[in-house]
Each structure stands twice: as C-alpha cells, then as structure tokens.
Amino acid sequence: MDNEGKNIKFEYENKPMVRSKAETKTGKIMLIVLVAFLCLAIGLASGIAGVGYFLAVNKVDVQSILTGNYATAEPVIEIYETETTIEKETIKRVEIVESSTNSPVAAIAEKVIPSIVSVRVTFPYTNYFFNMEREGAGEGSGIIISEDGYILTNNHVVEAALQENSNEKYESSTIKIYLIDRIDEPIDAVVVGRDAISDLALLKIEAENLVAIDIGDSDNINVGDLAVAIGNPGGMMYMGSVTSGIISGLNRELYDQSNGAGNSERLNLIQTDAAINPGNSGGALVDSGGNLIGINTLKIVSQGYEGLGFAIPVNKAMEVVDELKGQGYVSRGKPNIGISVSTEYDAATAEAAGTPDGVLITSVGALSPAEEAGLKMGDVITKINGKRVKSYEELAVEKDKYLPGDEIIVSIFRLSELETESGGRYFDLPLVLGEADY
C-alpha cells in the first residue's frame, strides 16, 4: 500500500522494562560494594582527623612515633593511693609525684637519691704478722632522716672506728659523710648513739640544704609489693645505685652471732630480692611512693642462694632512733657479760689445741662486768652457774635466765701464762651481770 501523502501516527506503549534474573542480582552486588566503599572512605577520613588532633593536643614529635620512640612533651604524672584509717573510717589520700620519665622506678630514684649519703670510716688496727699498727678503712651507706642533720646507718658500718662499748671514736679514727651533690666536701660526723643488737647507728652532721627522706610504714606493706633499694654498693664509685624487686617476705627471723656474747637476738627483717651488695649496708629500701620502709642491712652469701637480701623494718628503726637520741643507747633490761667470742672455735679446734670445749673469748670490754670479774682474752668459758656450755647459743641461753645485777659463777679454762708451766688451769669467777646497752 502506498502511504505517500497520508499522515501516520506512531503510538508507544508505556510498559516496565523486563530484566533477567542474572541482571537483577548483579545490580544488587554493585550497590552493596558502593555503600561499603563509601563507609570505608568516611571511616578513614575520621581516623586521620583523630590522629591529627591527638598529635596537636599532646605536642608529639611525629618522627618519634615513626621510629618507635614515642614520648609526650609533658612530664609523666605517677599517682599513688594510700589509705589511712582513723577511728575505723578509711580515708584515701592521693599522692602525685611529677617526673620527667615514664619509668616508676626512675621517678622513685629522682625523689630518694638526694637523701642517700656515703659513710666512710678509717680506723687503726694491728697487723700481727708484721707486728705493726696500720690504718683500715670501710664504706657504707646512710639515710638523711631529718633536715637538721640526723643520719641513720648500720652499726657495723661505723663500729670499727669506735671504742668498744662506746660512742666515742678512737683518737686516730674518722667518720666522714659524703653528700651526692657535694661529693668533694666530706663532712665530719659524730655518733649520737648506736645499738649492736638491731645493728643501727645514729650519726649527726652540721650542713645546710639537706633533703630528708619521707618515712613510710613498714606495718603496711605486703609480699609482692614493689621494693627499691638505693645505696652505694662497692663504695663511692657506685654511689646512688638503684636496684628494684619486690617484697619477698615479712618477719623473717634471723639469729645474728656477730655481737658480743649473749647480746644477740633474733631479728625480724624484711626480705627482698632487690640486689643488696657490700656498701649497700645502711641504705634505703623504699616503696612505690619513695617512702622509707626499711634499712638495708645484709644478704645471705652462700653457694646455691641468690636474691636473699634483708632490711630492718623502718617502724622498728625509728623506735631505736628515739632511744638513741635520748640516751645514746637502747635499754632492753637484758643481761650483759661484756665480751666478744669466736664463732669458729668448736670441738675439733679445741681438740687440736689441747683445750676443752666451750666458748673462746676474743676480747673483753673496758669497764665491763667481764673485766671486773677478771676474765681475759683467750679464756675458754666452760660453765655458767655449773651448767655446761659448748657454744655461743648455749652461753646466751644460760645468761638470759638472769637479770642485770644478778651474780653468776663463770667457769673458765685458762692456758698457763708462765713459760715454766705447761697446760692450763680451771677457775670459777663470780660475775655481776650488767645491762645490754649497745
């Protein structure tokens, strides 16, 4: 048919497009991918903004983060909480210690080291091999406990410089204190008082701008607490050395045989694994707040043992300090003979020497009950009031059955002092017991 010259009209049906199932599934997947991408982009942008804000607020050096040495520009603040109980009501006190380091032990050291001193003594002694007088020297640590110059240390650090049973130095002895910030200006110290039983001595110096340590509470510590020992191991060469560990045990009972016969007692000490070495004696054991909880005194040195250090609890030490300040010694009401004895004299030694078992006297104190009774160096004590004694411990047990002022009979064996006589003789000497005051 010829359509030329006619008007033709085209009509289109408005029907929905029909898609296959495969096309529909692909579209949904694309939509999910698009939404996930947008979320990721938004999250990344937020994270970058957050990091930038943190760096700006904390003034952090970006390079330190890249190298793994991140540090803030502001000092680290360590917060320690302590509890004080007052009339059954517990009050918490927060102590803030500012430090330029993020190490808690370093912060403690910064606080405590200015209160630790070096104690250096010189003393005369006789070299029996060459039969001549020589000068000895020793070093230890001390703790400034008050700004007016009182220093606490161990008795065994200074006793060689002192006359027996006295706080007075030998004429040729010296006791000098070295401060950490005045190492070239040694200061002469006087002995206010000392106590051989607790192994504590109180010294006094005249100096300005002293930094006193904060006194803690040794009744408020627990096994596992942080413990930091500060002192001078090996002497002034390593002055202000710091070791850290934990409180390993409490009320460790040790029997000290280094005192004069019968003047020892069982010491209840703090045990720690913080390293305590020669020269640390008299140094500080402190807690996590830098407060003094103990006075380092000794360690067990024996094959098979490691990390057994001991400190005198500060609460006990401050009781001793009060008595030393008041009278120069500690009153215990314990009987005293006034001698030093050998801990190496035993049955084998006695048999080899041809002398009886007993307790060998190595020195007799001036003006002591022993001197008054006529005891001499080299005598062997065999009985106390008729009771046989063969060791230091047995002598102490028998002596402690009596009170100061009681009279006892000390039986001794004494080698002959005459060249024409051999062997020795037994004596029974009456002795009036004194009071242990050192």
Q: 284, 293 in Cβ contact below 8 A?
A: no
Output the CA torsion sign for 26, 31, 32, 33: positive
198 assigned to active site = no
Residue 241: left if φ>0, alpha if ψ -120 to 50, beta else—which one? beta
Instruction: Give me the catalytic one of 118, 173, 198, 199.
Output: 199
What is the torsion angle, in degrees rounded to the nearest 10, for the CA atoms of residue 89, residue 90, residue 91 and residue 96?
170
> d(Cα 221, Cα 241) in Å, to the nearest integer?
23
199 assigned to active site = yes
- Mapping DSSP onto H, E and C, the string for 139-203 reads EEEEEECCCCCEEEECHHHHHHHECCCCCCECCCCEEEEEECCEEEEEEECEEEEEECCCCEEEE
Do the bridges between strand 174-179 and strand 150-153 make them parallel or antiparallel, or are there none, so unpaired?
Answer: unpaired
Closest residue by Cα to residue 284 from 249, 314, 319, 263: 314
> d(Cα 375, Cα 238) in Å, to the nearest integer?
44
281 assigned to active site = yes
DSSP letter for each residue of 237-305 = GGTTEEEEEEEEEEEEEEE--SSSTT---EEEEEEE-S---TT-TT-EEE-TTSEEEEEEEEE---TT-
Instruction: Give me the catalytic one of 115, 118, 156, 287.
Output: 156
What's the burial of 184, exposed, middle or buried (CB within 10 Å: 0-12/13-18/19+)?
exposed
Unique residue bearing structure tokens 């904060």:
214
> d(Cα 334, Cα 438) in Å, to the nearest integer?
11
> d(Cα 329, Cα 211) in Å, to the nearest integer?
26
Q: 309, 142 in Cβ contact below 8 A?
A: no
Instruction: Give me the catalytic one of 248, 281, 340, 368.
Output: 281
Please identify every residue annotated as catalytic: 156, 199, 281
